[in-house]
Amino acid sequence: MAREFKPQIVTANDLLMGDVVYLTRAGGWSRRHEDAHVAVSAEQAQTMLAHASAQQERIVGAYLADVSLDESETPHPVHFREVFRTRGPSNYFHGKQAEG
Amino acid sequence: MYAYNEFDEAFVRERVRQFRGQVEKRIDGSLTEDEFKPLRLMNGLYLQLHAYMLRVAIPYGTLDSRKMRQLAMIAEKWDKGYGHLTTRQNIQFNWPKLKDVPEMLEALADVGMHAIQTSGNCVRNVTADHFAGAAADEIEDPRPTAELIRQWSTDHPEFQFLPRKFKIAITGAPNDRAVTKAHDIGIRMVRGGAGEPGYEIIVGGGLGRSPFIGKVLREFLPKAHLLPYLEAILQVYNLSGRRDNKYKARIKILVHETGLEEIRDAVEATFERVLEEFEFPSDLLTAEIAGHFEPPEFDNTQTLAFGEALEADPVLRAFVETNVAEHKNPAYGIVTISTKPVGGTPGDVTAGQMRVIADLAERYGHDEIRISHEQNAVLPHVRKADIPTVHAALKAVGLATANVGLVSDIIACPGMDYCALATARSIPVAQEISERFHALKLEHEIGELKIKISGCINACGHHHVGHIGILGLDKAGVENYQVTLGGDATETMALGERAGPGFAADELIPALERLILAYLQLRHSREETFLAAYRRLGAEPFQAALYPEKERHAA
């Protein structure tokens, strides 16, 4: 039996700035995790990843990351690495946490 | 200080020009990331967790005030006002933007610096004893040799696509401060039968996933044979090193799997052939390079003022005790500038601090600065009479922490706060250890203790050779820290032994506190360091302190 699919989003780094971006429902990119479009099936996730990876002129290194959904269906990162990527480093107030 | 000749200058400028074109082509879409990545890595540009990172080589850890001021300018203009000193005597900028990188490289070229071969499967920045040219225990300054190796290995046409990266370290002193036995090739200056200086060649050391202590390949190599011999080692490695598995591709694995004797035979046979054909103008270059490393004109006048200042100022006295090492000239001291204030990030230096270091080097230090693999800065030649002034100036900018060699003088890799490869964070662990032991007021009581932290098994934080090593891992989605004990980075190198199961982040600091307090109880006297006590007693009493629960269950 196929493994139960966990919701996923597509994330990458911006080509010019190098910072973390998320694939949105419109097929563009946002710097905010809550804007990420959530795939609800493995097929959808692969389609989104292929769409994202084709955008070589915008981003680098797209991949799928697991998320959990709250009551309002907003995605939240599951793994601590992805949590850090939504914030920035812990030793200075730099990165996303400083950009609001 | 080595100064670029016309050839070096033209080469570095040409590389900047090429890279500028490559960046433009990447941005306009004519290069894909797969095509661009090897090109950017060749120029030291990584893509990390939150941003790009530019790794700049500080060859054999040597800088002068002009270079340091330029690094400060770069940090302010294109980064966030600081740089990070690494365990391979590089400096990393954590926040560059892609389009700015060619400008940054141009600014580096303006002062004879570059980021070439700080990444990729080539010969990396050659590292050296950070006390080179100043140490009292030195046979010869190893930096002219390091510079010769840099020139030979930079853009070497045969060795740009080795099976894996290749790291060389050199020391001119019997006390190994350059971790030579944990490098692909370690070079130690030794004396031959007639007292002439030559090299002991060590091969196949390395940390990372499979740690190995380097083995002596040649006990004595005459100086003139160095480059042909290195060429022979690299040729053997290039042909026989494994390319089928990234994790088995370093020369340490080749040496381990093939056996030292067989590798030695292959290298010696290759060496004979290389020696006949070798065309690199080593002799000419050696003479030219040596001129750049003439020792400064030391001022030998000794004064009583230094002793009086020490008497009068206990803070200065503590600083001198830990941070000033013996210089070959008795009127001088080697001043280590700790980048590890209480709660700070090991290796981080602000632009303002860089300028103060540059000013002090220029005024009081014969314009020499070193970066150590322990992520500190060093003023190698300071007159003892000037140390009180230098100390006061360092204190004013938070650079006078008297902790070199102590529990808070921690090596920590950037870990998951920056690094894309990391499996856990390192920096917060270092910060918490330093804060905790500062609060306990035990640091000086504990004495010499080397804690080294890596945020993944690649071991940039040298955890295997820490007296206490800490390895951050991802254990089922939670940060978890393994502790190793008894490692040693010096000429008596030892790999630490894993103490037991890992600790959750919130359990780690209390466990380390129990461990170190137990050491204070176990040691014979203040003279017996943590490492010496561990060697005398073995792991058991230290494990008992780390895992008291287990003890109780066993009882």
- Say which amino acid occupies B93: F
**Nearest Cα residue to B403 out of B430, B364, B368, B369:** B430
Asked whether the beta carbons of residue A95 and residue B51 sit closer than 8 angstroms, the reply is yes
pLDDT for B96 beyond 80:
yes
CA separation for the pair B79, B53 (Å, rounded): 10
Quick count: other Cβ atoms within 10 Å of Cβ B441?
A: 8
Given this model, what pLDDT does residue B552 score? 57
pLDDT < 50: residue spans in chain A: 1
Given this model, what pLDDT does residue B551 score? 58
Counting the structural domains of chain A, the total is 1
Given this model, what pLDDT does residue B304 score? 85
Q: How far is B433 from chain A (nearest CA, A)?
A: 14
Cβ(B485)–Cβ(B534) below 8 Å: yes
Given this model, what pLDDT does residue B435 score? 97
pLDDT for B7 beyond 90:
no
For chain A, give the number of residues. 100
When pLDDT is averaged across residues B450-459 and rounded to a whole number, the result is 98
A3, part of any domain: no
Given this model, what pLDDT does residue B292 score? 92
**Minimum-distance CB partner of B51 among A19, A57, A79:** A19
Strand-strand pairing, B369-371 and B62-63: antiparallel
Q: List chain A residues with CB under 8 Å of B475.
A: none
A95: its two tokens: 């990165």
Q: How far is B95 from chain A (nearest CA, A)?
A: 8
Using 50, 70 and 90 to split pLDDT, how confident is the model at B286?
confident
What residue ranges define each of the domains in chain B, with the CATH number in brackets? 6-110 (3.90.480.20), 142-292 (3.30.413.10), 311-396 (3.90.480.20), 411-554 (3.30.413.10)
Quick count: other Cβ atoms within 10 Å of Cβ B522?
A: 16
Residue B416 contacts A where some CB pair is shorter than 8 Å? yes
When pLDDT is averaged across residues B4-17 and rounded to a whole number, the result is 92
pLDDT for B303 beyond 90:
no
DSSP notation for B396-441: HTT-----TTSTT--EE--GGGT-SS-SS--HHHHHHHHHHHHHHT
Asked whether the beta carbons of residue B98 and residue A90 sit closer than 8 angstroms, the reply is no
Given this model, what pLDDT does residue B275 score? 94
A44, part of any domain: yes
Give strand pairing partners of B93: B54
Q: Half-sphere exposure of B91 toward its Cβ, with a 13 Å CA cutoff?
A: 29
CA separation for the pair B202, A44 (Å, rounded): 54
Residue B520 contacts A where some CB pair is shorter than 8 Å? no
Residue B48 contacts A where some CB pair is shorter than 8 Å? yes
Residue of A63, A81, A83 to mutate, testing the B interface (most B Cβ within 10 Å of its Cβ): A81
Q: What is the pLDDT of residues B118-127, one digit of tens each?
A: 999 999 999 9
More confidently predicted of A5 and B229:
B229
Q: B-contacting residues of A 38-97, CB under 8 Å?
A: 56-57, 60-61, 78-81, 84-85, 88-92, 94-96
A40, part of any domain: yes
A56: nearest CA partner in chain B: B32
- Chains A and B form CB pairs within 8 A to the count of 72
b/e code B170-184 from CB counts within 10 Å (16+ = b) = bbbbeebbbbbbbbb
Using 50, 70 and 90 to split pLDDT, how confident is the model at B287?
confident
A62: nearest CA partner in chain B: B33
A2, part of any domain: no
Asked whether the beta carbons of residue B416 and residue A15 sit closer than 8 angstroms, the reply is no
B480: nearest CA partner in chain A: A80
Q: What is the pLDDT of residues B360-373, one digit of tens each?
A: 999 999 999 999 99
Asked whether the beta carbons of residue A80 and residue B479 sit closer than 8 angstroms, the reply is yes
Residue B49 contacts A where some CB pair is shorter than 8 Å? yes
Residue A28 contacts B where some CB pair is shorter than 8 Å? no
Spatial neighbors of B262 by CB under 8 A, at least 6 apart, are none
Q: List chain A residues with CB under 8 Å of B99.
A: 16
What dihedral do alpha carbons B281, B282, B288, B293 form, nearest 10°?
160
Q: What percent of chain B has pLDDT over 90?
A: 93
Residue in this structure with the two tokens 């992805």, named with its chain if needed: A82
Cβ(B455)–Cβ(B414) below 8 Å: yes
Residue of A14, A15, A76 to mutate, testing the B interface (most B Cβ within 10 Å of its Cβ): A15
A18, part of any domain: yes
Cβ(B402)–Cβ(B322) below 8 Å: yes
Q: List chain A residues with CB under 8 Å of B49.
A: 20, 81, 84-85
Q: Where in the sequence is the domain holding A22, given as residue range(s)?
A: 8-99
Q: List chain B residues with CB under 8 Å of A60.
A: 33, 47
When pLDDT is averaged across residues B224-248 and rounded to a whole number, the result is 96
Given this model, what pLDDT does residue B305 score? 87
Q: How far is A5 from chain B (nearest CA, A)?
A: 18
B46: its two tokens: 């990584």
- Burial class for A32, CB neighbours closer than 10 Å (0-12, 13-18, 19+): middle
Asked whether the beta carbons of residue A16 and residue B96 sit closer than 8 angstroms, the reply is no
pTM of structure: 0.96
When pLDDT is averaged across residues B290-318 and rounded to a whole number, the result is 92
Using 50, 70 and 90 to split pLDDT, how confident is the model at B281?
confident
B211: its two tokens: 């740690």
Q: List chain A residues with CB under 8 Å of B417.
A: 84, 89-91
Given this model, what pLDDT does residue A1 score? 47
